[in-house]
Structure formats: structure tokens, C-alpha cells
Amino acid sequence: MRRIDFWVGVPLCFLLTLWERLTRPFRSRAPQEPPRRILFIELAEIGGLVVAYPGLAHAERRFPNSQVFFLTFTAGQGILDLLRIIPPERQILIRPDSMFTFIRDTFRAIRTMRRQGIDAVINLETFARFSTILAYLSGASRRAGFHPFHDEGRYIGHLITHRVIYNPHVHAARTFITLVEALAETPDREPRAKALVNEVSLDLPTVCSSEQARAWLLHMLREQYPELTANDRLVLINANASDLVAVRRWPSENFLALARELLKDPRLVVILTGTSKERGHAEGLRQSLNSPRVVNAAGRTTLPQLIDLYNAAHLLITNDSGPAHFASLTKLPVLVLFGPETPRIYGPLGPNVAVLYRGLACSPCVSAYNQKRSPCSDNQCLKTIAPAEVLNRSREILDRQTATQF
């Protein structure tokens, strides 16, 4: 995707910019009215869809007579359904499974955007050429997005009408809200949006679980640990991170050392989570721990069922990855290990989030400016976070909780 975004995206942005400048004098300018159909675009990381929720909610408040649509990859559909702010008929999905389906769905998405009469686009992707091209080809006359201005090396053409400076000093949720505010201003080559957004709510919805879902969850866990009771305390460990940024992973041997210490408490059950692709790695950890109180749930749950697991658990310990954001839709305490990225920008929004972050001189080395690519192969920013430190923080969080049953 990165190679396509560069080798195909750069010349396309250039050609479309030429077309835009050549045809601009021949287009009539419609009066500036509030947008009626607003499309948000967020493709790559589905955890970012949770961070985008305050911006979506703000758009509905800011433009109450508009309809909000969302364009994302198919992996993000589950999160959009959980957030319950974009109905299925307003979700436009692209499958990145193969080059054929990717190209076909891209053209289908462009056709859908034009058929729906999208008149405003908010591009949440930072300096991504593919989403910038999609925004332009949507036919929308207003397109808000991050523009590099005088930053070198991030060419995206001049396809954005409401240009916003990417601010790396505030949380991503605030920058998304800024894009919404930009739509309310007149288009200009001057940076938008010149507005205060610090008071806008960043609250997330809370997703609850039914009794039926809890019963299924108990059955699933007892398949691997029949001795499980409702009084056991469940500690979830997400030992993986997206392949998109592998340098965000805390070493597996550290997770093993942490889990061994946690298991010394007979009340605790360790549950390993992850995707179906990560099930083999999680199984290796389970076998190394060699304890009946370790359950491998990786690949065993759908996204809604994973939320049910979060609602039943007492703590999630995770790398900086999507599950940290998913869990913020519940009341589950979350302990997130940050290293190559900073929690100041990408920290989960939930009220029960704790962070361990070294803040080395080289951190953060992954950012929107380098498409989250780092030359680092020795992530000392994470390796120097000792298992004992994570253990102590975990015990503090668990000790503050009242006894609960699932």
C-alpha cells in the first residue's frame, strides 16, 4: 500500500492538480452553504476509527442538517457498527484483499460517492495520497484535509480546498475535530481552521454486553479452562501489534516473564488475545507458560465478542495497537505500553487508561511525517520497560478494583 501510495499516488496527484487548475476557470462557484452530505475517510488503522468518533459526533452537532458517511477498508466495518453513529447504508467499504478487489472496490467507491451526492469530504489520513485522490474524485466541492504547506517530502498536490496544518503537539482526536471546523470556514490558501477546539468533548460511547453474550463467553473460556469460576479475575494480554508497525511490540520474553508472575496469584486467569493470524504466536506463549490458567482466545472471537470479553475482564495489558482503543469503548482498565509512538497524540481516549512510556531522546520515531515507518530495529524504548515495572503497575490497578463477577 505504501509503494502504491508513492509510485502511483505522486504522479496521479500531480496530474489531477493540473486538471484542477485548468478546469477551475470554467466551473461555476456555488454559494457557500452548510454541507448536506459529509464523507469521512479513514483507511489504514481501525483503532483510528475509535479516535475519530469525537470528530464524527462533532460533525453531527456542527452541521445538524447533514448526513454523515464513512469510507474505510472492510476491517473497519465492525468498529463503525459498534460506534452506532454511521448506519450500514452510509458505509462505503474497500476490500484490500487482493489487487483486483482493491481496484474494483475503489472504482465502485468513487461511483457510490458521486451517486450519493457527497458535497464535503473530511480526509482523516495524514498526507496519504490515495485518500486525497479519493476525496477529489468524490466530486465534493469542499475537501478538508491536512496539507504539508512548506514541509518537504510529503507531496499530495493541491487537491484540498480547506487546508489544515497537521499539529503534532495535540491529540489526534483534536486534529480530527479541527478538520470538521475547517468545513465551516471559507476555502482559502491560508491554513484553516482558526478556531478553538479544546472544549469539544472527547467522550466515547460505552458498549455493553448482554447476558446471552456473557454466557457464551463463559462457555468459550471453559473449553480451555474447565475450572473457571465467576469469581476468577481475568487479565487479558495482547502480546502482538499490527504488522504495519512491528517496532511497537514489547518483547515476547517480557510478556512471558510478566505472565509467570501474574499466575503466582491463584485468583488470576491469563487470557491471550489477538487475531486469527496471531493465534499461532499466542499458542506458543500458552505452551511456554505451561499453566491450566492460561487461555488462548486469539482468533476465537469476533469483534463484538472481543468487546464482551473486555466487559467481563479486570485488566488488559497491551502493546500500542487497536485493542487498546477498542477496550476504551468499555469500562475495562487498560495498561498500554508505548514506545515508537507517543501517547500524547495516539493515546486511547477511555477514562481507565494507564500508560507506560519511556520518552527516550529518539522517541517518537514513528509519525505521520514518515507514514509510520521507522529505521529502528532495536526498540529500546520498549525493551527498557521491565516486566517488574509492568507487574507492579498491573497489581496497583487490580488492587483498586472492587470484586466483580462476570
Q: What is the pLDDT of residues 351-386, one digit of tens each?
A: 899 999 999 999 999 888 887 888 898 999 999 999
Given pLDDT bands bounded at 50, 70 and 90, which one contains residue 88? very high
Among candidates 318, 272, 319, which has minimal Cα distance to 298?
272
pLDDT for 121 equals 98
Given pLDDT bands bounded at 50, 70 and 90, which one contains residue 287? very high
Beta bridge partners of 39: 69, 121
What per-residue string of b and e applies to 108-127 under the rule 16 or more CB within 10 Å gives b? ebbebbeebebbbbbbbbbb
User: Which pTM does this prediction carry?
Assistant: 0.93
pLDDT for 230 equals 83
Give the burial class of 78: count Cβ atoms within 10 A of its Cβ; 0-12 exposed, 13-18 middle, 19 or more buried: middle
Task: Using a pLDDT cut of 70, give the percent of the chain over it.
Answer: 96
pLDDT for 2 equals 76
pLDDT for 12 equals 95
Residues 304, 305, 310, 312: is their CA dihedral positive or negative? positive
**pLDDT greater than 60 at residue 294:** yes
Given pLDDT bands bounded at 50, 70 and 90, which one contains residue 246? confident
Over residues 14-42, mean pLDDT: 88
Number of C-beta neighbours around residue 189 at 10 A: 10
Residues 203-242 have pLDDT tens digits of: 999 999 999 999 999 999 999 999 999 889 999 999 986 6
Over residues 240-252, mean pLDDT: 81
Domain at 2-192: CATH code: 3.40.50.2000
Task: Using a pLDDT cut of 90, give the percent of the chain over it.
Answer: 81
Structure-block grid coordinates of residue 97: 484483499
**pLDDT greater than 60 at residue 404:** no
Over residues 118-123, mean pLDDT: 97
Given pLDDT bands bounded at 50, 70 and 90, which one contains residue 25? confident
Q: What is the residue-averaged pLDDT of the chain?
A: 93
Domain 211-399 fold is: Rossmann fold (3.40.50)
Residues 156-169 have pLDDT tens digits of: 999 999 999 999 89
Among 24-28, 75-79, 144-148, the minimum mean pLDDT is found in: 24-28
**pLDDT greater than 60 at residue 406:** no
Asked if 207 contacts 61 with a C-beta cutoff of 8 angstroms, the reply is no
Q: How far, in Å, CA of 118 to CA of 194, rounded?
A: 25
pLDDT for 32 equals 74
**Range list for CATH 3.40.50.2000 in the chain:** 2-192, 211-399
Over residues 138-142, mean pLDDT: 95
pLDDT for 220 equals 95
Distance from the Cα of residue 111 to its chain's centroid: 26
pLDDT for 371 equals 78
Does residue 243 or residue 85 have the better pLDDT?
85
Q: How far, in Å, CA of 123 to CA of 234, rounded?
A: 39
